[in-house]
Chains A and B, each alone.
Chain A
């Protein structure tokens, strides 16, 4: 059944190029044909659901740097279809939005924009969804460090009322960060308290 579908898809949509994959049918689609393909998949090929939408970052030095990935599911065929789309520009990656065709794409695209900084052209409400609006980074990019980057929390409304600036909580905790730099167990206050030994005089 999959071979039949594959043959049909390649015939009907000549812009598709095949892509190696072990688990389901997978194709590359150029960004300019993406919306056309998605509408056709929904209306003519019976892929009713856009189950997942995500992106891959190949690292700063590569071009194309970003690839967006779409997983479609067909209830009748009981099969998945994966469409990959390389973003043409490295600095300002942009692909067309599918939110008008599949409303499910709305939040997924906002998440990919939030995490990778990929612009979805034509999205009705493209703003951050998991991080706060003023956050300056895109955390799932490969160059973003696991430990995170200290970021100011601008809150002009709070400052106006309280006359105080908002300080973010220090990025303590987790297995990754030691605020003092160096060994986490040394930064632990209890480790410095040696009042239990007789060699050190009791301070408290």
Chain B
């Protein structure tokens, strides 16, 4: 062995101390490394400009905007219902949850009462969207850590969900299912029993995934104590959703500020202890199981009655069979399509607990069918902002695991 070899001792623990050390600068040479915007680990078009000291990340600067479409500007120029398809394209892994969150925000401005059946449908689709999002999130997370097989199991289940979504909404991916004051159509015959059948099959697949990952030595080595977010940091940086709960903060708006009648359903909110990548994985897996519980409860007590707000004459366009047979409904439909749902002036801020975190809409209305300002508070945008603070001190290979565990979507981040 050559006597000139210089060895440097690196402690495995304490990433924060290592990060602080690297921020001081070092004697070694630094390498600039660009990851993305088109790179498989970035799950979309996130770009990272990193500074490496050997294998250690000294600096990590996320660069956004590669998927910026100006959704907020577009919203100011169209009627409320016309914007529903744009919400599909925010978190495109769970479009149904975005549809619901958006209409709930606008409905908060109005005083219409949403019938129970409509609320039940909305809860149902929100939870199915959560399952769909977490299935993809965990499948891809496993893949980021080097485990291919779980992805196959989760995608098989997701395919079944897509079939269910297609039966309900007419589209697999971009569902555009909700309208201000209701949904676009009632649940089809026999659909609920097919959802129950899916709920019977899903836990088996989740068990398979857990067998492959949860006690897998390699997976544990790669995720435990990696990407730790402390409780205080998580709150200060505005992290929400499973990422916040993994850090030990009990904030779930479905429990804390129930909407859509979530207070009727019995479910648990999983909370992490350490806030590392492994906790984020565990929290999501448990959330899938809890979502199945909610779905079963909704279907067990599925209310009858109307599936849209019948008395909201200036807000919800009636179903087609009524438009074609009645003059009054025809006029109603014409006015809503041409001028938009008539929303009173005012401002509201509404947040919903989406699969990725808290999705908020701030709506400022001056009355009429078009919002004066619509702001989208995207959970992925806030969840990613901590990266600059968290990444330094980790190894380069950890960044794939960290990004996978944060489970973000650029469509929503860049809007």
- Residues of A whose CB lies within 8 Å of any CB of B are 21-24, 48-52, 54, 56-57, 69, 71, 75, 78, 80, 82, 102-104, 106-107, 111, 115, 128-132, 139-140, 144, 146
Q: By the criterion CB–CB under 8 Å, are A139 and B70 in contact?
A: yes
With a cutoff of 8 Å between Cβ atoms, the chain A residues found around residue B250 in the complex are: 75
Which residues does chain B contribute within 8 Å of A139, judged by CB atoms?
70, 73
Q: Are B348 and A22 in contact (CB under 8 A)?
A: yes
Interface set, chain B 234-253, CB cutoff 8 A to A:
235-238, 240, 249-251
A69 to B362, CA, bound (A): 10
A131–B65 alpha-carbon span in the complex (Å): 6
Contact between chains at B238 and A50 (CB < 8 Å): yes
Contact across chains for B358 and A51 when beta carbons are under 8 A apart:
yes
Which residue of chain A has the shortest Cβ distance to B239 in the bound complex?
A104
Cβ–Cβ contact B72 & A51, under 8 A: no
- Residues of B at the A interface (CB closer than 8 Å) are 64-65, 68, 70, 72-74, 77, 108-109, 235-238, 240, 249-251, 256-257, 346-351, 358, 360, 362, 364, 372-373, 375, 377, 381-382, 385-386, 389, 414-415
Per the bound structure, the CA–CA distance linking A15 and B307 in Å amounts to 47
- Does the CB pair B347–A103 fall under 8 Å? no
Q: Give complex CA distance A3, B12 in Å.
A: 52
Cβ 8 A contact of A71, one of B68, B70, B346, B362? B362
For A140, list chain B residues within 8 Å (CB): 72-73
CA distance A196 to B385 in the complex (A): 56
Q: What's the dominant secondary structure at chain B's contact region?
A: mixed
Does A56 contact B373, Cβ atoms closer than 8 Å? yes
Once A22-B346, A54-B362, A56-B373 are accepted as A-B contacts, the answer to whether A48 and B235 lie under 8 Å apart by CB is yes
Chain B residues with CB under 8 A of A80: 349
**In the complex, which residues of chain A have a beta carbon less than 8 angstroms from the beta carbon of B72?**
115, 140
The answer to whether B349 touches A130 (Cβ under 8 A) is no
- Asked whether A23 and B385 contact (CB < 8 A) given A71-B360, A104-B237, the answer is no
Contacts of B347 on A, CB cut-off 8 Å? 21-23
Q: How far is the CA of A115 from the CA of B415 in the complex (A)?
A: 12
Q: Is B349 touching A82 in the complex (CB atoms < 8 A)?
A: yes
Q: In chain A, what residue has the closest Cβ to B244?
A: A49
A104-B238, A130-B65, A140-B72 known; A51 and B377 CB under 8 Å? yes
| B267–chain A nearest beta-carbon distance, Å | 18
Q: How far is the CA of A80 from the CA of B251 in the complex (A)?
A: 14
- Taking A71-B349, A78-B256, A130-B414 as contacts, is the C-beta distance between A49 and B70 under 8 angstroms? no
Which of the residues A23, A102, A146 comes within 8 Å of B349, measured between beta carbons? Answer: A23
Give complex CA distance A24, B64 in Å: 32
Q: Is the CB of B65 within 8 A of A129?
A: yes
Task: Tell me, in angstroms, the Cα distance from A56 to B371 when the chains sit together.
Answer: 12
Given known contacts A56-B364, A131-B68, A107 and B382 CB-to-CB distance under 8 angstroms: yes
Can you report 5 residue pairs joining A to B where beta carbons are below 8 Å apart? A51-B240, A56-B364, A103-B236, A140-B73, A146-B77
For the complex, give the distance between the alpha carbons of A23 and B110 in Å: 11
By a CB distance below 8 angstroms, the chain A residues around B68 are: 130-131
Within the complex, which residue of A52, A56, A130, A131 is in contact with B377, where a contact is CB–CB below 8 Å?
A: A52
Shortest CB distance A125–B (Å): 9
Query: Quick check: A23 and B64 within 8 Å, CB to CB?
Result: no
- Residue contact A49 to B364, C-beta cutoff 8 Å: no
Contacts of A103 in B (CB 8 A): 236-237, 385-386, 389
Question: Assuming A103-B386, A129-B65, A146-B73, what are 5 further A-B pairs, CB within 8 angstroms?
Answer: A22-B346, A49-B238, A51-B240, A52-B362, A107-B382
Q: How far is the CA of A123 from the CA of B392 in the complex (A)?
A: 21
A54 touches which one: B74, B256, B351, B375 (CB < 8 A)? B375
A residues near B373, Cβ cutoff 8 Å: 54, 56-57
* Shortest CB distance B224–A (Å): 26
Contacts of A48 in B (CB 8 A): 235-236
Tell me the nearest residue of chain A to B375, going by C-beta: A54
Given A23-B348, A52-B360, A71-B362, A107:B385 Cβ within 8 A: yes
- In the complex, which residue of chain B has the Cβ closest to the Cβ of A141? B73
Residues of A within 8 A of B351 (CB): 51
Alpha-carbon separation in the docked complex, A186 to B351 (Å): 44
Tell me the nearest residue of chain A to B61, going by C-beta. Answer: A125
Expressed in whole angstroms, the Cα–Cα distance for A50 and B75 within the complex equals: 24
List the B residue with the shortest CB-CB distance to A78: B256
A46 → B minimal CB distance (Å): 11
Chain B minimum-CB-distance residue to A101? B236
Query: Known contacts being A49-B238, A51-B358, is A129 close to B64, with CB within 8 Å?
Result: yes
Residues of chain B contacted by A129 (CB below 8 angstroms):
64-65
* Chain B: minimal CB distance from A110 (Å): 9
Give B303 Cβ to nearest chain A Cβ, in Å: 26
- Chain B residues whose C-beta falls within 8 Å of the C-beta of A56 in the assembled complex: 364, 372-373
What's the Cα separation between A69 and B389 when bound, in Å? Answer: 25
Q: Could you say which residues of chain A place their CB within 8 Å of the CB of B377?
A: 51-52, 54, 71
Q: Name which residue of chain A comes closest to B347, CB basis.
A: A21
Contact A104 B358, CB 8 Å, known A130-B64, A132-B65, A139-B73:
no
Rounded to whole Å, the gap between the CB of A119 and the closest CB of chain B is 19
A139-B240 Cα distance, complex, nearest whole Å? 28
Nearest B residue to A48, CB-CB? B235
Task: Select from chain B the residue with minimum beta-carbon distance to A142.
Answer: B76
Question: In the complex, which residue of chain A has the Cβ closest to the Cβ of B66?
Answer: A130
CB-contact partner of B108 in A23, A54, A57, under 8 A: A23
Chain B contacts of A54 at CB under 8 A?
Answer: 362, 373, 375, 377
Residue of B whose beta carbon sits closest to that of A144: B73
CB distance from A186 to the nearest CB of B (A): 23
Q: What separation, in Å, do the CA atoms of A184 and B238 have in the docked complex?
A: 44
